[in-house]
Amino acid sequence: MSTIQSRRQLDNTRKKLQMLEERLGELGAVPVENPQTRELTRRSLKKLANQLQEEIARFESHAPARSDGA
Instruction: Note the pLDDT of residue 30.
Output: 82
Instruction: Note the pLDDT of residue 12.
Output: 97
* pTM, 2 dp: 0.81
Half-sphere exposure (Cβ direction) of 32: Cα atoms closer than 13 Å: 14
> Distance (Å, rounded) from C-alpha 13 to C-alpha 17?
6
- For residue range 11-22, what is the model confidence (pLDDT) as tens digits? 999 999 999 999
Instruction: Note the pLDDT of residue 2.
Output: 67
Give me the helix-helix angle, 35-62 and 7-27, nearest 10°: 160
- For residue range 28-70, what is the model confidence (pLDDT) as tens digits? 888 888 999 999 999 999 999 999 999 999 999 987 765 444 5
Q: Where exactly are the structural domains of the chain?
A: 7-59
